[in-house]
Structure 1
Amino acid sequence: MRTFRSHRLLAACLLVFALGACGKNDDPQAGTANGEAGELLPAPQGASGGVTGMPTQPGPGQVGPPNAAIVEAPMLDENGNPILPATPEDGSLPVADDGTPLVEDGTAVPGEPTPQDAVAVVRDYYAAINARSYARAYALWSDGGRASGQSPQQFADGFADTTGVSVEILPPGRVDAAAGSRYLEVPVALTASQRDGSQRKYVGAYVLRRAVVDGATPEQHAWRIGSADLREVKP
């Protein structure tokens, strides 16, 4: 009888031991809690990028240059012709891209000074200087020559040591509009020959002006030199 009880006790102990061993594998974290090596699930990978959270590679979407701006179509009249800007409040007429005045149908105004007329004024100015006709050159300045800032005699004396001037006239700029006036810049490059045989070179531009208001005289209506910005080019 004693031997049978011993066998039953031994079988019970073995069963308890087996159940305890199975319980260890039920919790994968138990091994690490006790300092033993355990096999954990891999940790999720974070998104790549800088500390600001911006991705290091561009995301989907437009990667090329943006579409060109849509050019607004001009307004047309009932006949399909472009509608010109309204006449300014100062009574002047609209102008073309090159500054030529236009009438309502878009054609050039007959007799109105053009940018090429302004270029001709600069050309005539130096032709008069080379001909020693200083009074005529002086008169090509606005306000009867007073825009030069000199008297007629002071103007003539300024060319006392000059034997001749060669000028290269470059393409003029666009006509600028102001209240009652128009302005145009004409770039130039000059070479002035001196009596001692030397030459002096200048670059710069003339700004020509004309009036566009009602009641202006023919002289005021024409292109005249309003100012000059010429700088000597040192060799």
Structure 2
Amino acid sequence: MMRTILYLPLVLLAACGGEPLPENTVASNAAEPALPDMPPDPPMPGPQPEADIPGISAEPHAQPVTPAQTMAEEPGPAVAAAVTQRYFDRIAAGKADAAWELWDDDGRASGMTRRAFADSFKRYATYRATVGTPGPMEAGAGQRHVTIPVEISGTLRDDTPFAMAGTVTLHRTGVIDGATAAQRQWRISSADLTPRPVAVPPPTATARYACADGAQIDATFDNVAGTASLRHGEQTLGTLRQQPAGSGIRYAGDGIELRGKGDDATITLPGQPPLTCTASR
């Protein structure tokens, strides 16, 4: 017992620095020396691991990519309007079967077969459409939609005039996994067109134009024949035929041209500069 007690102080003395510790002996209470700050290890040569993708392999980014950024390079409303114009141009050209192809879901969104769709337009003699300014592109769940205003006019086979107005909505799939090239193209998904009253002009109408040079020119319009006869006093200036016009009226013939919109008109006589005229009431 005495031998054991004498041995313990010797062990404690060695641990406190009185004697060097034997080789390969670690003191549990010894403090590790502080290491100097070291620069980060340089990247290893060769391919580096891919960075985390927010929302997929890492936490979502604090400021995720917005739909507007996602759609920045996709076909926008202007392309949708061009598809709409092509659709109505095909109908006006008597190619309704080809217009059917511009409906969504391979034509099925029209609710009709190709043949039934084409047959439904056989009652029209003339068909004209004015495509308006498209609205903004709407996005949701990888899908895109654009609504476009449209005005339609023309005549039936029995010469009865008709008019319609409303909207056409187009759809496409965004650039997402699994979407085919066809699905990413604008196609018509629905049309909301309602008949509008048609103003039927009287068979004939007259107007007297007071022009800037002091002259007065009388015009007699034959709305059945599509002509306009111009007179200056007792002199007949000529008979003009109705011409296509974006808006207002346009008649030309015998070297004379009459253009007008509302009460304002321009009359050009042979060899003379255009006259600015106003219809008097």
Residue type of the partner of 2:150?
A: V
Structure 2 gaps, min length 5? 1-62, 199-281
Are 2:136 and 1:158 aligned?
no
Shift of 1:139: 0.6
- For residues 120 and 113 of structure 1, the distance between their equivalents in structure 2, rounded to whole angstroms, comes to 11
Which of 56, 61, 71 pairs up with 1:101? Answer: 71
* Corresponding residue of 2:156: 194
* Corresponding residue of 2:93: 131
- For residues 216 and 164 of structure 1, the distance between their equivalents in structure 2, rounded to whole angstroms, comes to 38
**Which structure: larger Rg?**
1
Q: Summarize deviations over 1:87-107 as a string: whole Å, max 9, x none.
A: 36xxxxx327xxx922xxxxx
Which of 115, 129, 150 pairs up with 1:167? Answer: 129
* Corresponding residue of 1:10: none
Query: Relative contact order, CA 8 A, sep 6+: which one is greater?
Result: 1
Percentage of pairs with the same residue: 36
Which structure has greater strand proportion?
2
CA RMSD of aligned residues (A): 1.7
Shift of 1:199: 1.4
Which of 57, 65, 80 pairs up with 1:87? Answer: 65
Shift of 1:234: 2.2
* Corresponding residue of 2:181: 218
Scaled by the length of structure 1, the TM-score of the pair is 0.54
Report if aligned partners of 2:125, 2:157 keep a CA contact under 8 Å in 1: yes
Residue type of the partner of 1:135?
A: D
- For residues 86 and 169 of structure 1, the distance between their equivalents in structure 2, rounded to whole angstroms, comes to 36
Report if aligned partners of 2:87, 2:99 keep a CA contact under 8 Å in 1: yes
Report if aligned partners of 2:173, 2:183 keep a CA contact under 8 Å in 1: yes
- For residues 222 and 189 of structure 1, the distance between their equivalents in structure 2, rounded to whole angstroms, comes to 24
| Structure 1 segment 1-235 matched on structure 2, within 5 A | 86-87=64-65, 94-95=67-68, 101-102=71-72, 109=73, 112-212=74-174, 213-235=176-198
Residue type of the partner of 1:216?
A: A
Aligned length: 135
Residue type of the partner of 2:71?
A: P
Q: Secondary structure at the match of 1:221?
A: coil
Report if aligned partners of 1:130, 1:163 keep a CA contact under 8 Å in 2: no
Q: Secondary structure at the match of 1:144?
A: coil
Q: Secondary structure at the match of 1:95?
A: helix
Report if aligned partners of 2:76, 2:137 keep a CA contact under 8 Å in 1: no
Which structure has greater helix proportion?
1
- For residues 122 and 65 of structure 2, the distance between their equivalents in structure 1, rounded to whole angstroms, comes to 48
Q: Secondary structure at the match of 1:143?
A: coil
